[in-house]
Structure 1
Amino acid sequence: MGVKDLADVDDRRLVPLLASDPAALEEFYRRHVRPLTRHVTRRLGDPHDAADVVASTFLAAMESSAAFDAGRGKPIAWLYGIAGNVMAMRWRRGEAESRAVARLHGRRETAQKDDFDRTDDRLDARGRAQPILAALPGLPGSERELLALVVHDQLTVGEAAEVLGIRPGTARMRLARARARLAPRAV
């Protein structure tokens, strides 16, 4: 099948073909590379790091396409989940490398004044957010997941609804309920 033949094929049918059909991989990539790149860039802040993560995500998707279970969710949510795992793995590896370098040097580099200011700002923000963060585990899982996509990943409600496989109206209702539950905790 050529790419033109696959233009109308649903993602659920494309995913199992990713490892064996280059045209299917190309079509799936074409459909999702831009939104995934935006998502990862928002999370990482660096477009170069985001490009590496997106490439690793599509490689992992291709390698694990046979294990995709359409009954567990939409392909877009599966793809974003892979991206989240790739980012977490990079973060853990980066943290381990930083600790190793610090041990090798026997000391930490002296921080610049701007570093101290940023740290103070983060501590202030964390202090203000603490009551809300403490209330998050009490929210239903569907509301927590939606909040994470909208607040942390900075997706629109429509994009988050698509990732979760729900209608935008349902997502707006869940978000309103979550905000109402968290509002008393906000200072």
Structure 2
Amino acid sequence: MKADIVAAIPSLRAFAVSLSGNPDRADDLVHDTLLKALGSMDSFTEGTNLTAWLFTILRNAYYSDYRKRRRETADPDGALAARLEAPAAQPGHMDLLDFREALQKLPADQREALILIGASGLSYDEAAEICGCAPGTMKSRVNRARNRLTELLGLEESQRLESEAAAKPKARRASESAAPRR
């Protein structure tokens, strides 16, 4: 059987060159085909056409590789890769740790109000009902919590206002701006 495989190598190489158009790529295809064939000899049925089986393996390997290469971009000199950049993950992680530490320094009622309004997305009325207080009290707690966090984190007032605006859901911002002020 192995002698038949070795005898098929020139035909496999010719077929691989005709598929790929590149002798070096063809040699790689034949090599991959032989490795796959030897690794799965138990799936070959004795008495069937060994050469056809090998050609099928080679053809499938070529098309699988072709589909994979089609999604790749040639970048031999590394110019494209050099333009890519990934932001460092550590500053964001450190900011989160600082925020969590500052959040824990808030009084419990302010922390609770801030989490219900800012993180959970509840309205002031819903949060006030949960905490058993008036909506105005809830607004005061949230305002004091935000101001204290600004101090603890060393943020400027303008930075705090920008981050608050970015954190609010758009629908909620629209409903709050349309609601009459008391």
What TM-score, normalized to structure 2?
A: 0.39
Name which structure has the greater RCO, CA cutoff 8 Å, separation 6+.
Answer: 1
The structure that has the greater radius of gyration is 2
